[in-house]
Amino acid sequence: MECLIGMKFDGFSLIAHDNSAGRSVLVMKQNQDKIFHLGDHLAMVVCGDTGDTVYFGEFIQKNLAYYRIKNGYSLSPSAAVNYTRHEMAKRLRQAPNLVNLIMTGYDESTKQTSLYFMDYLGTLADVPFAAHGYGSYFALSTLDRYHRSNMSKEEAEGLLLKCILEVQKRLVINLPSFSFYFVDENGVSSKRTVKTEPAKVVGESTGEQQSEEMDVFV
């Protein structure tokens, strides 16, 4: 019941996650942070079993911080994601581990932005855009149609909103809010939240169909 979305552009990237946390058909909370800040210019969003995601995310976060303190410099996004994949593969061979993630970072040495897709089996790919969860079925088709590498931040935000609205329209599971972040040469931005309220389509008293509306608050 979760959804992660990531996009890479010229000079920056955008990652987003829904704010729902639940188990089976139950929703526990609607303000769950699913991002882990791995460095000044590196972050990842995760989804999967709640215990696995929190444990694995904090494990990667603390080990990258330890490496930075010990050596005096941070791993590049490419090195960090390959280390993460190595740890994912190790855990997969020890016990079931359901963690899917999207990692993005800005490499200060090459002045390039990277976006990585990784699933719970350790599959790793450097991609222009990515998505996880049931919402990915609809977000990926929207991204494939509208994504351009030369988009501005305003256009990228509009594309994210287009993906969210498509997920809300097509998916029976309720994902009422998403949080998103930009990653660029200035680091990881502060959190911004998009909240959507699905419309009531059928009137309660007359049963007549009402006009469909959707309010979006940014």
The series of mean pLDDT values per 10 residues for the chain, 218 residues long, is 92 93 79 92 93 94 96 93 95 90 93 94 95 92 94 94 91 86 93 73 43 46
Cβ atoms within 10 Å, residue 196: 20
Number of CB atoms found within 10 A of residue 185's CB: 12
Give the number of other CB atoms < 10 A from CB of residue 145.
9
| Residue 188: DSSP 8-state | E
Selection from 189, 188, 197 nearest residue 215 by Cα: 197
Specify whether the CB–CB gap between 131 and 3 falls below 8 A. Answer: yes
Task: Indicate the pTM of the whole model.
Answer: 0.85
Contact indicator for 30, 60 with CB cutoff of 8 Å: no
SS3 29: strand
CA–CA separation, 79 vs 140, rounded Å? 26
- pLDDT at position 15 is 96
User: What was the pLDDT predicted at 198?
Assistant: 54
CA nearest 4: which of 114, 170, 116, 146? 116
* Cα–Cα distance for residue pair 193/217, rounded to 1 Å: 8
d(CA 13, CA 98): 25
Kindly report the length of the chain. Answer: 218
CB 192 within 8 A of CB 218: yes
Q: Which residue type occupies 174?
A: N
Q: Which CATH number fits the domain 3-217, given the four candidates 3.60.20.10, 3.40.50.12780, 3.40.50.1480, 3.90.1170.50?
A: 3.60.20.10
Helix boundaries (H) for the chain: 50-71, 77-92, 136-146, 153-170
Q: Quick check: 181 and 35 in contact, CB under 8 A?
A: yes
User: Count of H helices and E strands in the chain?
Assistant: 4, 14
Give the H or E element holding residue 32: none
